[in-house]
Structure 1
């Protein structure tokens, strides 16, 4: 960071006064805007405008005032602390919104329903002994394995096949389009596709319309456990396949063509080239896509909530947490489920950080 500012040993009195004045002004602006928004004295539109202007102005003033304070110190000290000035607010915000709520959830997980009495590990015992929770854990594991596996395999398959077609861009666009739909929106779409009418009524669901046309009886696709979980996972796969395809398609284009041609000259079949040449070269991208989709599957709540609301044996950990916290008002059990989800996410995050650390750009 050497050379950021001209060399000087001490700041002038005017620099110190300016820095103090800017800091005081920053505190006044930030506190005033916060109190104004907290008291909710404005209507919706002015509140939105004030929030945007205040937020941007506060961030600018915070960085500017911190930089002025750092300039009070000698150049050698300034060059050492200025990087922390720019990453410090981000770290504090992340700590405020992530670390502190996590610690509070951990504390609440040892408390009773009303968060007033310490009950030890009772909430965690409930997670692994209650039948509905065991079903939720089982379903979450099914989501992790099937949702992630099918998404990555289909994404890789589409990426490979699309590269060899004359309509590569068009086909990739069609596969990627579902990514623009929200999880709730996708749930509503598929709810109509899975809809069932009995007693000879005309079918409005696409799947049952096909079944009836073939001469079979309509099926309640969302009411038969555990197969209904696979029908819900199909929605997730439909959404995530486009993401996997885009990332893996970019990775495939980076595989050296000379290596593939050499394998063909040696007499290797296309399948052997795929397994022994292509996939090893895109291994890092496959792992990155898999972990990203794995995290999405672990947190998936929207599809279950909008399709079945967790009925018919389709509960997952995320939907159980929502119900315990906001339906049953049991903050202890809800917090315990949140900690369980965090424990499930942590190894994946650790692995990703380890992979990033091992890359040459991060050494």
Structure 2
């Protein structure tokens, strides 16, 4: 048994070193070609100088973009029209499955629910905190504490909240903070939070909101501080106070930033994977599009259905990215 284990370990180590060597060779080739191009561009003069400079500056980025994004995207779209082993052309059957299968429909509906709730709540809380924290002393300390969850990965945040939602049967010592709190408030038999559908979806959204509120607060706080003092002083002279100041001056002045924050959090939410995978694995009615895509591709080994879900996910993200780009261009033109 020990000898067999040693053979397996030796084989694994050999494969690892082989792959590491191949990766090193590829990097050396890439940097070697880049170095040759840089040297050639540095020595070029006359008409060749400008074209070579453009190639040097844009060439590596375009190559990496093509290899890392464009080619995989085209291949994913191609595979979405084929069977699980990519040998039989199915046309649009994988997309039909995505919109008619019960589990896939659940994932789509849950994803839509996440998009409609989590980004709006996170952005609203961030805006509220931005307005409140800017009016107190030592605001940098409070902002750092609120922003801190943003520095934690979604997996780490999920593990933290897993202890909050932990459930023990009545009569046993409760290790879950939420269960203990509701028991102290008089609820003698709280439910198993993560198993309770549809409540579990909203509890998982709390993790996303907790993580993204700090980001929204910091960006919106910067936007509020960028409002010219002359506008604020003029509004105060005209009698604007409190909510009138907020709705008539502050919010309209930071409208574009507010939309950018909202759409950015929407994109993050649409690609949601880590929280679901860590907390439930997509079980108990919590499946979302990104996790279902992973499960179909790497658990069920059905590249056709997984690719179709990936294309649907890409189609959902694309309009949000395009809208952000258009909005930023308008802002630059105004300035």
Please indicate, yes or no, whether the TM-score normalized by the shorter chain is above 0.5.
yes
The TM-score with structure 1 as length reference comes to 0.82
- For 1:87 and 1:361, how far apart are their aligned partners in 2? 25
The CA deviation string for residues 270-322 of structure 1, in whole angstroms up to 9 with x for no partner, is 21211121112112221221222111101111101111111111000011001
Correspondence list, 1:205-224, <5 A: 205-216=176-187, 217-224=189-196
Equivalent residues of 1:308, 1:314 under 8 A apart:
yes
- Which residue matches 2:275? 303
Q: Pairwise CA RMSD of aligned residues?
A: 2.5
Candidates 154, 162, 169, aligned match of 1:191: 162
- Structure 2: gaps spanning 5 or more residues: 1-13
| Mapped contact 1:197–1:203 kept (Cα < 8 A) | yes
The residue number in structure 2 matching 1:148 is 119
Would you say 1:97 and 2:68 are equivalent positions?
Answer: yes
2:91 aligned residue:
120
TM-score w.r.t. length of structure 2: 0.89
Identify the residue that residue 275 of structure 1 maps to in structure 2. Answer: 247
Structure ID, larger Rg: 1
Secondary structure of 1:230's aligned partner: helix
Partners of 2:210 and 2:332 lie apart in 1 by 35
1:341 matched to 2:298: no
Query: Highest relative contact order (Cα 8 Å, sep 6+), 1 or 2?
Result: 2
Of 152, 173, 190 in structure 2, the residue corresponding to residue 202 of structure 1 is 173
Of 259, 277, 281 in structure 1, the residue corresponding to residue 231 of structure 2 is: 259
How many corresponding residue pairs?
A: 321
- Unmatched 5+ stretches in structure 1: 1-37
- 1:316 has 2:288 as partner: yes
Q: CA deviation at 1:70?
A: 4.4
- After TM superposition, the structure 1 = structure 2 runs for residues 1-363 of structure 1, keeping only pairs within 5 Å, are 41=17, 51=24, 55=27, 61-70=32-41, 75-216=46-187, 217-360=189-332
> CA offsets, 1:190-243, max 9 Å, x none?
111011111411211001101111221222211222221110010001001111
How far apart in 1 are the matches of 2:317 and 2:46? 43
Cα distance change, pair 71–254 in 1 and its aligned pair in 2 (3 A): closer
